[in-house]
Every structure is written in C-alpha cells, then in structure tokens.
Amino acid sequence: MAAPKITLYFDVVSPFAHIAFHVLKHSPTFVKCDITYVPIFLGGLLKACENPPPIRIKNKAQWINQERLRWARYFSVPIVEQTPAGFPSLTVAPQRALCAISQKAPERFVPAVEALFQSYWVEANSQIGQPEGFGPVLEKVLGKEGAQQILNATSQDEVKSLLSDNTDRAFQSGAFGLPWFECTNSKGEKEGFWGIDHLGQVAEFLGLDRSLDNGFRAVL
C-alpha cells in the first residue's frame, strides 16, 4: 500500500504555514507520510486569485494574530508573541533562495526552510525579506560560500521562473491562501485542503491516527 502523500505549499511570511510546516515535520501523526514542501510567493497567489492581502481586510489583522498564537499553542509550536516588525515582509527574495536551494542543494532544503521559519516566526527577524536579513540564516545551513552562491542565484531567470511556476502550480491545484495542502491517500484519491484549521480533515482523508498528537483535540 502506497504511503499517504502531502504537498505543502508555503511562504515564510505566513504564520499558519510556519505552524503547518512544524506540525507536518514533527508530529507523530504524519511520520508515515511522504511530504513535499514547495515554496511559492503568497503575493503572487493572491494576485492570481484577485484576493486582497488578509491584513487589509477589516478586523482580520487582529484575528490573524489571535489565531496564530492559539493554533501554535494547540500544537506546541514555538512562535513569537509579538508580530515581527513590518509584517508582512516582502519575501520574494528568500522564497527564490529556497527555490535555488531545492535545485542546487536539495539535501539542505528542508533545514533551510526550517531555519527561515525559525528566524521570522520565532526570533522575529524583521529583515527576513532582505539579503542582509536572510543571508546569515542560510549561512548557518549552507556555510558562507554555499549561502553566497544561493544569494547570487536569486537573480537568475531560472530561479525566478521556478518560483513563478510553483506559485502557478499552487493556483492551478486550487490554492487561494496558505498553507495549502495537496493530498493523496493510499487509494490514490486526491484532495486539496486550505488552512491550519483543516489539518484534522487532512489527517482523516489520509487515514492517519490523530490520537498520536494531542493537538488534534482542538481540530475538527
């Protein structure tokens, strides 16, 4: 029987993508899943959907802050109490960097994703969107020379196109926000799910044991 598969589309700017990444990577509920992480540009996705940024919707900015803290608490995910200064940062550059890493140093891709989420949503690195902000983060994962190679690659057309293609792929799969989960169960059936609050439905669709993670007591 084939292992359940999850493709998580993410942008480090999203606190809920941060929570989703942490849960998928660390929760025993998902340990048997084949998980693929795909960096996209959330701003591009919202533009394709003709959706306004969530923080521009009246009352939603406050709701986002309350919800990110609530869901992080449910699943014991580290997260900063105060929203990083200047949120939301423009993250097209670090997202391109992740695309470059996925091609040039794939074995360091997941650690790089984790390091960037940690930097922004745990350490409140308000410069995450700038090379001087995310470059040192990548140095810790790739080394100084490796990080510089990735920084140089972010201006290459191939890397720019990859981020654009990933974003379009998310849009074509039905995404309109993040996190977006594209799932295939052991029967080969496929479904898309949006939002950390639908993680319980993801687990149910994939036939996973939610009792292994106490966080699911708060999830339908």
Q: Give the residue numbers marked as catalytic.
A: 14
Contact 193, 181 (CB under 8 A): yes
| Residue 72: both structure tokens together | 């992080």
Question: 38 forms bridges with which residues in the sheet?
Answer: 9
Using CA atoms, how far residue 107 sits from 39, 77, 101, 169, in Å, is: 15, 24, 9, 23
C-alpha–C-alpha distance, residues 186 and 158, integer Å:
34
45's torsion region: left (phi>0), alpha (psi -120 to 50) or beta?
A: alpha
Contact 197, 179 (CB under 8 A): no
| Residue 65: both structure tokens together | 């802050």
Q: In what order do the strands lie in the sheet with 180-184?
A: 34-39, 5-10, 180-184, 190-194
Question: 181 forms bridges with which residues in the sheet?
Answer: 8, 193
Peptide bond into 179 cis (omega under 30): yes
C-alpha–C-alpha distance, residues 132 and 153, integer Å:
15
Contact 84, 121 (CB under 8 A): yes
